[in-house]
Amino acid sequence: MQQSSLLARFLAEQLGNGSFELVPCQGGKNNQCYQVKQVDKSYFLKCFFAGPSGKFPKLKAEYNFLNALQLQDNHQVAKPIAVDFNNGYLLTEFMVGRSITAEDINADSESRYVQQCINFILAINTNVHQSTHDKNQASLQQASDAITNLDDAYQIVEKRLSRAKNTIDRTDVITHECLDFITNVLAEKLAEINLLINEKNRFTPLNSDCISPSDFGFHNAMLITKEASSSSLTDELTFFDFEYAGHDSKYKLVADFFCQPRHPVDISYLTLFVQQPFFRTLIDEQTTFIVILALTQLKWNLILLNEFIPEIANRREFSGQSNNEILSVQLQRSKAYFSLHETKLNHAKQILCNASNLKADGMKYSCIVCHAEHVERVYQSKEEHCVASDCRPLGFNFAIYQCQACGHYQKNIDDAYQQNVEEVYASYQAYQLTKGKEQLNFSADVPSSRCQMILNHCQELLPKSGRMLDVGAGSGVMLAAMTALKGDWQLYAQDVSAHQADMLKKNYKLIDFYQGDLHYIEEQFDLITLVHVLEHVWQLDSLLSTLKSKLSSTGKIIFQVPNIDENEWDFAIYDHVSHFSKQTLAQLVLQYFPFVYWPKNQIDKELTVVASLTAFPSSENKSNETINSHKIFDPQKKCIEHFDNNVQHLLNIKQQAINSVAVLGTGPSASYAGCILGEKVSCWLDEDKHKIGQLFCGYPVKPLSAITKNEFIVLPYPAVQSRRIKERLSDYRFY
């Protein structure tokens, strides 16, 4: 062995001066692995191959992953004992078991082994997110070759293809044949797949982050016999080899599981994955997954040809493999593997299509709050009318679904819906009439912005200083309110788009601005705000888990969403995926944060909640009443009934003989009323002087004083709010 004196010193420091025996054992194709045998105990030793820089990045990834799972008390991986980052040594406990075989997998009629793999992934993600405030958890970085968008997946294959073409020499018949296969078959297939990638979506964040063992499959697992009961034994899977582990995409994790060729897994088991809410994104984004699956198959085709690449051949020699491995065998394996591509892809498409059909029928469509599968359609729009949350009229039909377990209302999040929403966001502009400034709330004694009111209501519950992150910052309305209230905070902002980043940095002296995925933010924050963000998110689990990991140990997070119990007009906002009640918002937030408080003062038609990982100090301005998440929701669907009545009322006005009406307000509900009333609308009325004189949906915005007392005004608001307006403006006529 190389560096035998260094290794002996390392083992002596860990095991003492007693005698031990090193027995070579199988442990991958890139490293040297040994069983370290003492009289009464054994350990597993892994000596890593050094990279070009002389460092051991794979050792760091594996140790950090094992250490993170050890903190979870996970017993499906080996416990790390000691590590030497300078020389590339990792010592762990020795797990006694046997390799799982293809015969084991094929004989498993109950799919126990595949289910154990799925359960392992679910467990490490659930438990990691529950302990994200441990300093060791922060050491989990991106996995090797992690993907954050479709182009990342494409570039992984492109780089492997280019390396193969540039480093394999045509020295003999077999290398000629290999290069011809790479150039004429694999390269052409890659070009074909590349054409399937929609350029609009190529760099769109996948938003499917998870903790991934990477290179995950039965080839990195073994069976250990355990006691199932006092009279029976059972085989359970344990997992090893985490050289590439870290944060990665669910798409890539699942694709690798089904594409690795050493222990092939029939794609029919994909059904077990998509039944889990954690992997629901595979159904929601079928096209994305199929493209990544196709690219992953090509990647493994090229991995099978690694023996032809000189650099990798050197690693094989280090690990002790024979130099006489027959290259033609690897080439034939790669060709045979390629011949199965289309069959696997077509089968995967059919599985996802079937799962999608079940979902659309309400049979397997899961609630995004409680994950119950019994979700029913309770409303279908009669005409192609709806609005975006920035108040633009849209020409889409929409449906509302309700969970029959918790009562949560949500849209049907299928591919067509997501594509439509992406188009909405591509040209999104909030607060157009006020040039990016937040509209005033006239229900207060003194008109003020929503964000000012939120901070005033929550002020006693918040820290006095620290780092503050505004998620979904948009034009900076919360940053403006925060600056006015607590100017000494260190301000950070995040948004899916960076087109306002320079303005935000300049106006609010931001420490940093982040675009896209929150996961890659390294800082932790004492205050995080999400004002009207949650209702736009269809991957709530991923978002809330990530937010939890970015919150300091005593930090607070403010959520504000529309309250569907007080404003049924919110159903008409197409890009609002969720429509929360106080009960369903509480049920969601309590899954991630043990301390949830409701400020006593709430803004009309809104829900504001403050959450934390630690208890709040005593305050007169908070309410932490217990909300029974198992309470039976209102089966009469009053919100839906009220909304349907509102729509019918507008249709009746449209059919009246009167020539025209004015609509009070310029928010989403006013825009929706305009969609239905069409040419009946003469103008919009508003009490905000900043909006007067501008065009809204093609009609002028006027003050109330511009119309006569005989003209009719439409109030597209909930009954309670409409009654208050009529009392306040009793001199006017209302429909």
Ordered alpha helix ranges (H), 238-340: 250-259, 270-274, 281-284, 286-303, 310-318, 327-338
Q: Are residues 85 and 104 in the same domain?
A: no
> What residue type is 204 in one-letter code?
T
Residue 653 falls inside a structural domain: yes
Average pLDDT for residues 699-724, to the nearest whole number?
90
Average pLDDT for residues 358-372, to the nearest whole number?
67
pLDDT at 478: 92
Q: Which two tokens stand for residue 81?
A: 């004992």
Residue 553 falls inside a structural domain: yes
The pLDDT-based confidence of 439 (bands split at 50, 70, 90) is very low
CATH of the domain at 258: 3.90.1200
Summary mean pLDDT of the chain: 85
List of residues 6+ apart from 548 with CB closer than 8 A = 129, 132, 592, 593, 613
CATH of the domain at 55: 3.30.200.20
Q: Are residues 141 and 208 in the same domain?
A: yes
Q: Are residues 66 and 106 in the same domain?
A: no
Q: Are residues 436 and 577 in the same domain?
A: yes
User: Residue 441's closest CA among 271, 589, 606?
Assistant: 606
Q: Are residues 88 and 115 in the same domain?
A: no
pLDDT at 320: 52
Which of 351-360, 430-439, 628-637, 644-653 tops mean pLDDT? Answer: 644-653
Which of 3-12, 24-33, 613-622 tops mean pLDDT? Answer: 3-12
The pLDDT-based confidence of 708 (bands split at 50, 70, 90) is confident
pLDDT at 247: 93
Instruction: For 374, list phi and psi in degrees, rounded to 5.
Output: -90, 90
Q: Which two tokens stand for residue 439?
A: 């509209």
Residue 380 falls inside a structural domain: no
List of residues 6+ apart from 107 with CB closer than 8 A = none
**Which tens digits make up the pLDDT trace of 87-118?**
999 999 999 999 898 888 888 877 889 999 99
Q: Are residues 569 and 488 in the same domain?
A: yes
Question: What number of other Cβ atoms are within 10 A of residue 188's Cβ?
Answer: 10
Instruction: Answer whether residue 28 shows pLDDT above 80.
Output: no
DSSP 391: S
Q: Based on the number of CB atoms within 10 Å of its own CB, is 106 exposed (0-12), middle (13-18) or buried (19 or more)?
A: exposed
Quote the percentage of the chain above a pLDDT of 70.
87
Within its chain, how far is the Cα of 447 from the centroid? 37
Residue 37 falls inside a structural domain: yes
Dist CA 521 CA 519 (whole Å): 6
Which of these three, 339, 358, 377, is where a domain ends? Answer: 358
Choose the weakest-confidence range: 231-240, 311-320, 617-626. Answer: 617-626
Angle 260-262-264 (CA atoms, 0-180°, nearest 5)?
A: 65
Which of these three, 623, 649, 670, is where a domain ends? Answer: 623
Domain count, the chain: 4
Q: Are residues 105 and 68 in the same domain?
A: no
Instruction: Answer whether residue 129 shows pLDDT above 70.
Output: no
Q: Which two tokens stand for residue 192?
A: 């074909």
Q: Are residues 351 and 489 in the same domain?
A: no
DSSP 319: T
Residue 377 falls inside a structural domain: no
Residue 400 falls inside a structural domain: no
Residue 632 falls inside a structural domain: no
pLDDT at 297: 97
Identify the domain containing residue 40 by its residue range: 4-94
Q: Are residues 124 and 29 in the same domain?
A: no
The pLDDT-based confidence of 381 (bands split at 50, 70, 90) is confident
Question: What number of other Cβ atoms are within 10 A of residue 16's Cβ?
Answer: 10
Task: Specify the residue for token string 């027995």.
Answer: 23
**Who has greater pLDDT, 620 or 247?**
247
Q: Are residues 536 and 613 in the same domain?
A: yes
Give the containing element (helix H, strand E) for 596.
strand 595-599
Choose the weakest-confidence range: 143-147, 402-406, 439-443, 575-579. Answer: 439-443
Q: Are residues 35 and 104 in the same domain?
A: no
CATH of the domain at 559: 3.40.50.150
Instruction: Answer whether residue 729 shows pLDDT above 80.
Output: yes
CATH of the domain at 730: 3.40.50.720
Angle 510-515-517 (CA atoms, 0-180°, nearest 5)?
A: 125
Q: Which two tokens stand for residue 357?
A: 């059909």
Q: Are residues 14 and 127 in the same domain?
A: no
**Which tens digits make up the pLDDT trace of 636-683?**
468 999 999 999 999 999 988 788 899 999 999 999 999 999 889 999
Residue 687 falls inside a structural domain: yes
